Amino acid sequence: MAQYRIVSGSVAVISIQNPPVNALSAAVREGLLLSVRAAASDPLVRSVVISGHNGPFCGGADIKEFGNVSHLESGPHLVEIFESVEALAKPVVAAIEGFALGGGLELALACHYRFGHSEARVGLPEVSLGLLPGAGGSQRLPRLLGVRAALDMIVTGRHVAAGEALKLGLLDRLTDGNTVDAAVRFAQSAEGKPLDDRRLGNRPCPPLENIDAFFEEALIHARGRARGAAAPLACVQAVRGAATLPFLKGMELEKRLMETLMTSGQAQASRYCFFTERGAARWTTPTGARWDTCRARPISTAAVIGLGTMGRGITVALARAGLSVVAVETQEHQLDEAQRAVSRMLKGGGGVSYSADLQAAAGADLVVEAVFEDMAVKEEIFKQLSSVCKPGALLATNTSSLDIDRLASCTLRPEQVLGLHFFAPAHVMRLLEVVSGPRTSPQTVAAAMQLGRRMGKVSVAVGNCPGFVGNRMLKPYLEQAYFLLEEGASPELVDAALEEFGFPMGVFKMSDLSGLDIGWRVRKEEGLTGPGVTADQPMRTRRGRRYSPLGDLMCEEGRYGQKTGRGWYLYDRPGARVARSDPWLRSFLEEYRERHGLLARRIDQQEVLERCLYALINEGFRVLEDGVAASPQNIDAIYVFGYGWPKHRGGPMFYAAQVGLARVLEGLEKYHKAHPDSPHLQPCSLLRRLVASGSPPIHKWSEVVKGHRSQL
């Protein structure tokens, strides 16, 4: 899987051939080493060019091999191959088109020169797989760029565009033309010239002042951002090795660190996320529709109705994907403000026009409705859209909780109605839930999934139910957090446990950020709170279940969160972001407990995690059982890309498998026994059946799910 040919009489061109990304599989490694040896021993060869076949240079080591030690160990090791490349007595030029990532860039760093196409990008993204650059990258890159720039690239894993790579000195030259031809010409010009200085393994790292202080600070910084992930810290340690140790010692350190990471649960979880993200594109529905049998009609024009928080972001996301967008808003001041905000985000007009009239949506291929969360308002709009829009146009709602089927039934085209559930801010957040009802056609789902990809989203096809997948699972999580407050916890304790687990924000900080009033409005619509609701039932019970009115009481006090400067925390002013503990809240909780005869008890972080996360996971099993999500992988993609679940923990369903399904079941049983009035803690039957069938690995859960009624 490496092509070898001689061109221009003296240049050996070695081309890596392993579509689609030319990953360095065992067969590629074998081929590469043989080719390098052939070039070394052929007296006619005076220089070498290494390139990728059919475009991309190389996407790095073959990630599919990582889960299996015997795969990892078969074929020559990358370190050995790269040493042979660097040691070659003939100039070796990397010809980089497309991308050189991970092991791909490490190969290029072992070459004596690096030629890049002007549109190529390079990077060492191993950290996002829970790893570090383990084939010399952590040692060679700092020797080439200096510690600061190398550390930044390695710890963030960011892709660097060719222009920046040239400025950094990572690429030696750029071309707009044929990269291999340019590299061949350059290789010939370098034939016979000394190479010692071009071998990065021979070079010391450029000196850095106050090296110890620099790395201490780098470690603190990385720890602060890592949210419990081990890989970023190992990256810092490896780069410190490059700065302080001779090359071979540094390579030994890199190897030791890599072995620890590679066998860790975190790397397994991160790898799982890598494939889960991509797997979501291969959607299926139990009605038999599939990603590979459904043709999507292209969408080139869209209308967005309602230009509040969500509508603005959706407009930007659609415009950035190249669609021509008409944005509709009835409130004049909102329209003006939105126009300014959207233009700012798009840095100009960006193919967006504005109107106050719904008729402007007449020509659109797709309409996304993003008005207030009010069924009556949305029903009226869908009725109008059904007659205003051209035949074939898809009608989508961005509702986060309302019934898609009900909206579909207001139209004369229910098969073209769906939910496009964006997350705030819609132009930034990666997740898109594509929600279909029983009457939504497969072609509609296909078109939405294709559009999601164009917008750079991780799009997950889900079924219709209250809260769809993400918000449905969030409800029991939030509920347990409230119950914990009643029982003696503080928002600070709950948030600290969740943040230590790896969430960017605990549940109470998150709730302050999104606004407590949103949930309050939904609970009022559901009849759970509001005037007269508690007249005939206890304050802490609704429909026979335990209910915490804490959120409602907070809203009644005008504590909506950041927007009012007061919520579960205190803020310096409305809109400020820094959360401070609020003594008022402590007395409020004490009085509340006293009023309801609740005795505060000591609650530890383990209970917080188990109550909140197991309740969420339990609902995830129910979602699977109901067929609202097609797979546990889809649920995990939703949580990682939409709800801040830490990647190095794989997603809630993966986490459950890693903890052990029997342990999760046991935990739920224990807590349900202690809180029998909280049905979300009652283990669902799918979880019981999985445990009874020996807790199969996650990719086999669907076999146990089969046979269940599906709503998709």
Ligand X SMILES: NC(=O)c1ccc[n+]([C@@H]2O[C@H](COP(=O)([O-])OP(=O)(O)OC[C@H]3O[C@@H](n4cnc5c(N)ncnc54)[C@H](O)[C@@H]3O)[C@@H](O)[C@H]2O)c1
Ligand Y SMILES: CCCCCCCCCCCCC[C@H](O)CC(=O)SCCNC(=O)CCNC(=O)[C@H](O)C(C)(C)COP(=O)(O)OP(=O)(O)OC[C@H]1O[C@@H](n2cnc3c(N)ncnc32)[C@H](O)[C@@H]1OP(=O)(O)O
Is 259 an interacting residue with respect to ligand Y (CB under 6 A)? yes
Which long-range CB contacts under 8 A does 688-697 form with residues at least 24 apart? 690/621, 690/661, 691/661, 691/662, 691/665, 695/657, 695/660, 695/661, 695/662, 697/657
Tell me: does residue 377 bind ligand X (CB under 6 A). Answer: yes
Binding mask 476-515 for ligand X (x = CB under 6 A): --------------------------------------x-
| Class of residue 342 by CB neighbours under 10 A (exposed 0-12, middle 13-18, buried 19+) | buried
Identify which of 366, 467, 360 has the alpha carbon closest to the alpha carbon of residue 416.
Answer: 366
Question: Which of the listed partners (ligand Y, ligand X, none) does 189 bind, with a CB threshold of 5 to 8 Å by partner kind?
Answer: none
Active site residue 126: yes
**Residue 50 or 352 with smaller CB distance to ligand X:** 352
Q: How far apart are CA 275 and CA 47, in angstroms?
A: 38
Stretch that binds ligand Y, among 19-27, 450-458, 637-645, 697-705 (CB under 6 A): 19-27
Residue 121, amino acid? R
For residues 422 to 441, the per-residue mask of contacts with ligand X, x marking binding by CB under 6 A and - elsewhere, is: xxx-----------------
* Closer of 135 and 242 to ligand Y (Cβ): 135
User: Which member of 74, 118, 244, 309 binds ligand X (CB under 6 A)?
Assistant: 309
Residue 452 as a binder of ligand Y (CB under 6 A): the answer is: no
Q: Determine which residue in the list 373, 499, 525, 557 makes contact with ligand X, applying CB under 6 A.
A: 373
Q: In 643-684, where does DSSP find H-type helix?
A: 652-659, 661-674
- Distance CA(615)–CA(620), nearest Å, equals 9
Q: Which residue among 97, 106, 479, 486 is the active-site one?
A: 106
Residues 380, 371 contacting (CB under 8 angstroms): no
Cα 591 off chain centre by: 41
Q: Which of 26, 72, 144, 161 binds ligand Y (CB under 6 A)?
A: 72
Report if residue 328 touches ligand X, rule: CB under 6 A: yes
Question: Among this protein's residues, is 191 annotated catalytic?
Answer: no
In whole angstroms, give the CA distance from residue 540 to residue 287: 42
- Partner in contact with 191, chosen from ligand Y, ligand X, none, beta carbon below 5 to 8 Å by kind: none
Residue 302 has phi, psi (to 5 degrees) of -140, 155
Q: Does 137 bind ligand Y (CB under 6 A)?
A: yes
* 355 contacts ligand X (rule: CB under 6 A): no
Question: Could you say whether residue 154 binds ligand X (CB under 6 A)?
Answer: no
Length of the chain (residues): 712
Name the active-site residue from 126, 486, 487, 492.
126
Q: Does 248 bind ligand Y (CB under 6 A)?
A: no
CB of 354 to ligand Y, least distance (A): 33
Binding mask 380-399 for ligand X (x = CB under 6 A): -x----------------xx
**What part of residues 75-114 is at the interface with ligand Y (CB under 6 A)?**
78, 99, 101-103, 106
The three-class DSSP label of residue 13 is strand
* Binding region for ligand Y (CB under 6 A) out of 15-23, 228-236, 292-300, 383-391: 15-23
Backbone torsions φ then ψ of 99, nearest 5 degrees: -150, 150
Interatomic CA distance for residues 536 and 639, integer angstroms = 38
- Residue 581's contacts (CB-CB under 8 Å, 6 or more residues apart) are 492, 569, 570
State which H helix or E strand residue 108 sits in: helix 103-110
What tokens appear for 348 in the block?
A: 């100009």
Name which of ligand X, ligand Y, none residue 330 binds, using a CB cut-off of 5 to 8 Å depending on partner kind: ligand X
C-beta of 181: minimal distance to ligand Y in Å?
24
Can you spell out the DSSP letters for 457-500?
-EEEEEE-STTTTHHHHHHHHHHHHHHHHHHT--HHHHHHHHHH
Interface residue list for ligand X (CB under 6 A): 305-311, 328-331, 334, 370-373, 377, 381, 398-400, 422-424, 514
The catalytic site residues sit at 106, 126
Interface residue list for ligand Y (CB under 6 A): 20-21, 23, 59-64, 69, 72, 78, 99, 101-103, 106, 125-126, 129, 131, 133-135, 137, 258-259, 262-263, 275, 278
